[in-house]
Amino acid sequence: MVAFYCNGTLNSSLDRIYSCYCNYGFRGSAYIQDGCQDINECIEYKSPCSEGSTCVNTFGDYHCSDKRNAIFIGVGSPLGLLVLLFRTWRLYIFIKKRKEIKRKKAFNFKRNGGLLLEQQIHSSENNVEQTKLFKSKELEKATDNFNIDRVLGQGGQGTVYKGMLEDGKIVAVKKSKIIDEAKLSEFINEVVILTQINHRNVVRLLGCCLETDVPLLVYEFIPNGTLSEYIHEKNAEFPFTWNIRLRIATEVAGALSYLHSAASFPIYHRDVKSTNILLDEKFRAKVADFGTSRTISLEQTHLTTLVYGTFGYLDPEYFQSSQFTDKSDVYSFGVVIVELLTGQKAVSATRSEEEGRSLASYFMMTMEEKSSSLFDILDGQVLKDAPKEEILIVADLAKRCLHLNGRNRPTMKEVAKELERIQGIDNKDSNGIQHNYEDLAYAQPEIGDYSWNNSTSSIELTFDSAATSFSLHQELPLL
């Protein structure tokens, strides 16, 4: 390809003057030898480009380029390297933080008993496959970062928050307090026990989260609060009638009877009280808080443990011997029955010393007097609604549950059947057909023995200022 061409013109003297130009695609001077160079094959310093451009080398390819571009390339190369280094540093920090977060979650998972729980999940002796392990971000989002406005209740073991999962399901998230190994055992114990219980009158555990600083438990949401609230906080809009009280007592008795005698391995609740009985949207009872519950083998008759429970509900026999039996749960349930009858708290500073701070002692003292004395301490709603015969039968049942000698107390199965018999008239349908209230929808999975041995050498007493009573366990509404 010709690099240049010339045109000749005549001037005034008739001399031909030639004007030479580089052809298209060439740059340089057409008046010197090899002055016109292909712009894609220029050689810097030897073959000049046209004014305003320069010959540059881009990855071995020499070509003419605008000087401004050359300047940009010259300055941009070190600047680009600086930007690249900065972005690389940022990426390194990001990856390092991600690794640190993962490392911390893995540490928390192990510390919070994740390995122990995984052993139970994969154990052939247990049925905890349905346990869901929630992500921390999922529960943070569900509870609005554990907003104080979402608090449902709090107590000795932690705080319960109302939350909503991504699928719209409302749940209760229990955030445990800072725990030691003993508390960790309680936490894992509650998970293992609850994932093996399927009873309509026992609160259902949906899953847990172990990757946070403290473990989280996720339960079904029970909307109507605790039984304690309805007994002790009068609500004119919702009269807490005798029929409702009797039905709730029957439901709780049925649930405890199931735990004691219908499960493959007996389960002792160990903290039966009105604040651990929740009421759902239909005011059906849900027994909750299994943190201190224990399973025992079929051959065992009792547990020897550190004394634990709530003062006012605590079995005196267990308090003295540190031996917890199924009859210890019966005693605690007896106190709940007396609460339902009288509307009074298990422990109260308003009663005189002669009457006794303990409701159980006050009730038993009253029952030893003439029968008319009982009606002096009953709740006004009970006096209004309940037939006298039913009141006397239920009061006598409570008296037997509160017997100081555990052997003389009825079993929870006997208590449940007695309450069902009392409520029998209300269980007939419109055709007069009697329905067995104990025919509940529950499964009976295999349950392993996960009892933790505790020392019996000490007992911890704390003062509950809100209830103005001494207690062995902080008593506030809590799952």
Q: Are strands 205-209 and 132-133 parallel, antiparallel or unpaired?
A: parallel
Structure tokens at 350: 């308003």
Provide the 10 A C-beta neighbour count for residue 253. 29
Q: Are strands 170-176 and 216-220 parallel, antiparallel or unpaired?
A: antiparallel
Calculate helix-pair angle for 388-401, 412-422, nearest 10 degrees: 180
Say which of 38, 271, 289, 379 is annotated catalytic.
Answer: 271
Task: Tell me if residue 271 is catalytic.
Answer: yes
Structure tokens at 155: 């107590």
What secondary structure does DSSP assign to 163-226, as a single string?
EE-TTS-EEEEEEEPS--HHHHHHHHHHHHHHTT-B-TTBPPEEEEE-SSSS-EEEEE--TT-B
What are the backbone angles phi and psi of residue 59, rounded to the nearest 5°? 55, 45
C-alpha distances out from residue 231 to 49, 243, 245, 295, Å: 99, 14, 9, 30
Distance CA 193, CA 275 (A): 20
Closest CA to 475 of 289, 243, 307, 202: 289
Confirm if 173 and 160 have CB atoms less than 8 A apart: yes
What secondary structure does DSSP assign to 321-339, as a single string?
H-EE-HHHHHHHHHHHHHH
CA-CA-CA-CA torsion sign (439, 444, 449, 450): negative
Distance CA 291, CA 478 (A): 11
Distance CA 293, CA 277 (A): 15
List active site positions. Answer: 271
